[in-house]
Amino acid sequence: MSASSFSQKVSSYWNRLIRIGRTEGMDMQQEVRMQSLNALMVIVILILAVWVTINSFLGAYTAFRSLLVVPVLLLVIYCNYKRKYDLAAYIMSYAILFIVLFLSVTERRTGTQYILVGIGCCSVLIFDRPASAWLSFVIAFGSYIFYYWYDSTHPFVANPTIPYAFAQNALMFLSGLIVVSQSMVFRSLVKRYEAHLRDANREIETINEELRASNEELHSFSENLDSLVRQKEAHLQAYMDGIDISMYATVSDMNGKFMRVNERVLAISGYSEAELVGKDYRILSSGNYPESFFIERRNVLMQGNVWRGEIEHRTKDGALVWLDCVVIPIRDLHGDIQSFLTLGLSITEKKLHDKMQQETIQLLESIAFSASHKIRGPLARIKGLSNLITKDIVNEHEFKMVAEKLVISSEELDAATSELVEYVFNHQEKINDRTDAT
């Protein structure tokens, strides 16, 4: 096995051990502390193995007592595996502290007391809350003071199998090694997350660049949309202005009461806005429609359909006006009908024109009747008598009678002509009066 492959395997096992208990989405700070605690457990177990092995070769079998901490260390790793992170931290700090204090008292002057200081220094990496870290450090330092008080107040009997000088220096070195190793682990974790943060920061910068580009496109699109909306609003306003100027327009509620009327309505009806808004639309009705007409129209509108027709209104001063109207149901966002829009064009002049046209047709029919009966009769008699005279059929004694008949026929023709002229004149007067009224 090559050195590189061995190093990769060791690194793989190391990463697996320190990541025991890691979950997706774990808080970065908690993950660092969890991995630091696992790393501390592994380092302590390895150091204990080395310590027990060396002391065994030296004949100091009392070093096996230090293996009392191994079950505790494994329990800490198990708690992390079960995601009991706080419990693992407390067991690591206080259970091991108690065991080390016990070993320090039972195996005095071997340097075990220095491990108490090491545990206290590592508390800042074990606990998340500063208060817990300080409390652990104070208890560890208090245990160290307790050891020296106990050692100074109780007689000491040296164990000839223990190399005290070696043990003290070795344990002092191992305590420092624990602190340094833990700090190096923490440093490597910090560097790893620093690299992750740099990568994440680069990704964020890339995303920000994309967002800025998208934002510029969105801003450009928004400006174009605003310009288009303003243009459409201007067109719509022009249409609305055209409607207000030329068309009759009202908005009424579900009960048929006016909510809004435009200037054209006021001009046609003669009412003011205050007199119409809030009033029922039938205030403008001519009174010439049955109730069934309004019921039928409302049924059409309530079905969501558009109603169109010619309707007669009565103005405030009593005049009748005609409108070609279209009534449109207006729906809300939920599709429910909430009001009605009425648009109309005045066709009063058209209606008068149609009526005058009908009366003119009747006049022409009367003229034709008069021409057929009152004019053609006298003309036929005059023509017949004239033919008798030109053909010398009339005797001298008959001339007087023929002349009298010609006079009578001419008088009848003159009377019929005068009647016809007067009839046409009277009809023209009526047309002129209606034209002046409109």
Say if residue 358 is in the same domain as residue 301: no
CB count in 10 Å sphere of residue 198? 10
CA distances from 62 to 51, 109, 168 (A): 11, 13, 14
CA distances from 420 to 271, 317, 363, 364, 427 (A): 44, 37, 10, 10, 11
Q: How far, in Å, CA of 36 to CA of 426, rounded?
A: 118
Would residue 219 count as lying in a domain? no
Is the entire prediction scored with pTM above 0.85? no
Asked whether the predicted pLDDT for residue 369 surpasses 70, the reply is no
Asked whether the predicted pLDDT for residue 435 surpasses 60, the reply is no
Q: What is the mean pLDDT of residues 269-288?
A: 88
Would residue 235 count as lying in a domain? no
**Structure tokens belonging to residue 267:** 């001009």
CB count in 10 Å sphere of residue 135? 15
Say if residue 369 is in the same domain as residue 397: yes
Say if residue 293 is in the same domain as residue 413: no
Question: Among residues 96, 89, 94, which one has the least CA distance to residue 48?
Answer: 96
Q: How far, in Å, CA of 170 to CA of 168, rounded?
A: 6
Q: How far, in Å, CA of 292 to CA of 383, rounded?
A: 62
Q: How far, in Å, CA of 343 to CA of 48, rounded?
A: 98
Q: What is the CATH classification number for the domain harbouring 290?
A: 3.30.450.20
Asked whether the predicted pLDDT for residue 295 surpasses 80, the reply is yes
Work out how many domains the chain is built from and give that number.
3
Question: Among residues 201, 224, 204, 202, which one has the least CA distance to residue 212?
Answer: 204
Give the type of residue at 237.
Q
State the DSSP string of 318-343. Answer: S-EEEEEEEEEEEE-TTS-EEEEEEE
Would residue 225 count as lying in a domain? no
Would residue 217 count as lying in a domain? no
Asked whether the predicted pLDDT for residue 234 surpasses 80, the reply is no
pLDDT at 73: 78
Domain of 107, in residue numbers: 3-209
Q: What is the mean pLDDT of residues 63-85?
A: 79
pLDDT confidence of 307, banded at 50, 70, 90? very high
Asked whether the predicted pLDDT for residue 1 surpasses 60, the reply is no
Give the type of residue at 126.
I
Say if residue 311 is in the same domain as residue 364: no
What percentage of the chain exceeds 90 in pLDDT? 6
Asked whether the predicted pLDDT for residue 438 surpasses 60, the reply is no
Beta strands 307-314 and 320-331 are antiparallel
Residue 3: how many CA atoms within 13 Å on its side-chain side? 0
Relative orientation angle of helices 113-126 and 28-58, to the nearest 10 degrees = 160
Would residue 286 count as lying in a domain? yes
Say if residue 370 is in the same domain as residue 340: no
Say if residue 39 is in the same domain as residue 173: yes
Would residue 230 count as lying in a domain? no
